[in-house]
Amino acid sequence: MAFGLISIGRTIENPSAAYPVKDNINSMMMTRQEIFGFTPNSQYSTSVAYFSMEFAIDQALKIYSGGLGFLSGSHLRSAYELKQNLLGVGILWKYGYYDQVRDGQALMKTEMIEKNYTFLQDTGIIFTVAVHDSPVHVKAYILKPKIFGTSPLFLLSTDIAENDELSRSITHRLYDPNEATRIAQTIVLGIGGATLLDILGLTPDIYHMNEGHSVSLNFYLYAQYKSLKEVKKRVVFTTHTPEMAGNESHSYSLLQEMSFFYHLQEHEVKMLLGMDGDEFNYTLAALRFSGKANGVSKLHADVSRQMWGSNPNICEITAITNAQNKAYWKDALLDNAITTNDDEAIVIRKKELKSVLFKIVADQCGKLFNENVLTIVWARRFADYKRADLIMDDWGRFVALLNRTDYPVQLIWAGKPYPEDQSSMGLFNQVATRTKQFVRCAVLTGYELHLSGLLKKGSDVWLNNPRLYHEASGTSGMTAAMSGSINVSMPDGWVPEFARDKDNCFLIQPAADALSVVEKDLQENKNLMDVLENTVLPMYYNNQAQWLTLLKKAAADIVPAFESGRLADEYYDKLYTKKP
């Protein structure tokens, strides 16, 4: 199968044959200096292309859904700060993920609103990839480093006049619920992204798959090198999902029909990867195509090795714990007060930041919160295992907590469910409905980068209570600690690498593994409430000096270990650099 590549009026008939003339192509395009705007630091000489389905770069660029995007956004920010030889490859989603708004009864609904971005530069490059044995035209844009202070990011779109409406819709909606469209999206990201880099003459030393969505790029590389060993030399992989059901898979027959395997037939793919059966699992394929892989916390790497270790011929899975970019997330005044050990300034600035957040609460919910009251925030993707309603499991005790006058408490929830996850959307609305009566409870919509930052800066406590072993990393607590909010958390994901109970956070004691899910929820609700009532509230109201000491200790411990400069550097050291 061969299909044309169109670039500045020049057509390349076969991408595999394009290599001898790629320098000529490069001369027609932007130079590396024009793309990066800087000369990469010599210690990061290995060139890397970082493929991700979503990037949370700035509130103005809505091409992300949640944690995966927050991670990739921080990675690109720190790569730029360190002047690394790394660029991003993603997709320009016309309607983003979705806009979270309210219906007439103030319950959550989703809106798909067209997005337009004048700060993206049109590269002038249009090429084609095969989807369902038909040519789909792909247009490439670039987000230059100077716009938001990131490594260069190439974004691909099929929403152009050269395509029919069905092809245009491929890049309309992040994580489209239609299975065939989802597969087409992964083809555009993987095969399309790798094709673009060859057109630009920017063929990288390393292709980094951030999650398995871009796994199709390996079939493109295999068509060039005709060797799995050669592909492994060039590909690394990060897995983010500790739930087997969350690791994407599709039937071989549908993937074959969609042209996912590039030049290969189904039986050739099975022979190449040793993957029999009816379903092609993206994560397992990525582990067999890659030379190295990582989980996103030490605990998650252990879980990943248990999940996949029984499969032969997978690569090593190491641990590189997620992190977040402090320069982006911090409040400068609060950070200075923490750094200079100015307790009075910390208290004053936290109240100012709470006041800013509470204006959002008043605007959305008609409730006036008090800057002097302990404020707890639960904010992340609404999913069953994250347990947004755990604090409400013992309703009588929950109501008693809210009615306390000696130690008053304010609670805020925020987060986006998957738009087709009716159960999680129902939970969002249930929390909103059940807490509407309480003047010190609020449920906010529009949980994106901007609101996330306000919630972290304006909260006193950042609540994280997933079911144990279900959170791969979970980075929101890192940015909360950077923002003077103290974690009250289950010891899951990244937390065990950071937490010292009552020294830099408050830990919720996990229930015994042998208990049922229902029994665990009840026990961990009790343990959470005990922590709040017996430790957190008395310290906040009766011992401000101890509270501030803990707050400052958390902020000190979070950097550099959980700042994305460490992450970006560790990826070069553990995954990108070829050891002798």
Model confidence pLDDT, tens digit, residues 350-384 = 999 999 999 999 999 999 999 999 999 999 999 99
The pLDDT tens digits of the residues spanning 39-64 come to 999 999 999 999 999 999 999 999 99
Q: Which of 2-6, 27-31, 151-155, 257-261 has the lowest mean pLDDT?
A: 2-6
Cβ atoms within 10 A of the Cβ of 343, count? 17
Q: Which of 18-32, 245-259, 336-350, 489-503 has the lowest mean pLDDT?
A: 18-32
The Cα–Cα gap between 207 and 286 comes to: 12
Owner of token pair 């806009």: 99
The Cα–Cα gap between 290 and 305 comes to: 15
The Cα–Cα gap between 115 and 126 comes to: 21
Q: Where are the domains of the chain?
A: 5-9+45-323+566-576, 326-562
Going by C-alpha positions, the residue among 333, 304, 325, 387 that lies closest to residue 559 is: 325
Task: Determine the pLDDT at residue 579.
Answer: 57
Decide: helix, strand or coil at residue 516.
coil
Owner of token pair 């020294």: 503
Going by C-alpha positions, the residue among 556, 391, 374 that lies closest to residue 459 is: 374
How far is residue 211 from each of residues 31, 205, 243, 247, 294, measured CA to CA in Å?
29, 19, 13, 9, 10
- DSSP-derived secondary structure for 138-172: EEEEEE-HHHHTSS-EEEEE--STTS-HHHHGGGT
Region 86-92: mean pLDDT is: 98
| 394 dihedral zone (left: phi>0; alpha: psi -120 to 50; beta) | beta
Q: Please give the residue that has the higher pLDDT: either 381 or 24.
A: 381
Question: 443 is written with which tokens?
Answer: 């449920």
Task: Determine the pLDDT at residue 244.
Answer: 80
The pLDDT tens digits of the residues spanning 296-339 come to 999 999 999 999 999 999 999 999 999 999 999 999 999 999 99
Region 202-208: mean pLDDT is: 96
Percent of the chain scoring above 90 in pLDDT: 92
The Cα–Cα gap between 253 and 305 comes to: 29
How far is residue 351 from each of residues 225, 294, 356, 457, 486, measured CA to CA in Å?
59, 40, 9, 10, 15
Place 223 in a pLDDT band, splitting at 50, 70 and 90.
very high
CATH fold for the domain made of 5-9+45-323+566-576: Rossmann fold (3.40.50)
Place 32 in a pLDDT band, splitting at 50, 70 and 90.
confident
Which residues contact residue 290 at a Cβ distance below 8 angstroms, ignoring those fewer than 6 apart?
209, 232, 235, 236, 237, 315
pLDDT surpasses 70 at 142: yes
The Cα–Cα gap between 413 and 376 comes to: 9
The Cα–Cα gap between 42 and 83 comes to: 9
pLDDT surpasses 50 at 130: yes
DSSP β-ladder status, 292-295 and 279-281: unpaired
The pLDDT tens digits of the residues spanning 519-567 come to 999 999 999 999 999 999 999 999 999 999 999 999 999 999 999 999 9
Question: Average pLDDT of the chain?
Answer: 93
Torsion of the alpha carbons at 400, 402, 407 and 410, rounded to the nearest 10: 160
Place 28 in a pLDDT band, splitting at 50, 70 and 90.
very low
Hey, do 5-9+45-323+566-576 and 326-562 end up sharing a CATH topology, with the first three levels equal?
A: yes
pLDDT surpasses 70 at 15: no
Q: Please give the residue that has the higher pLDDT: either 475 or 25.
A: 475
- In the CATH scheme, what is the code of domain 326-562? 3.40.50.2000
pTM of the predicted protein model: 0.93
Helix (H) or strand (E) holding 365: helix 343-365
Task: Determine the pLDDT at residue 29.
Answer: 61
Chain centre to alpha carbon of residue 20: 37
Place 290 in a pLDDT band, splitting at 50, 70 and 90.
very high
pLDDT surpasses 90 at 578: no
Task: Determine the pLDDT at residue 243.
Answer: 82
Question: 125 is written with which tokens?
Answer: 């490059």
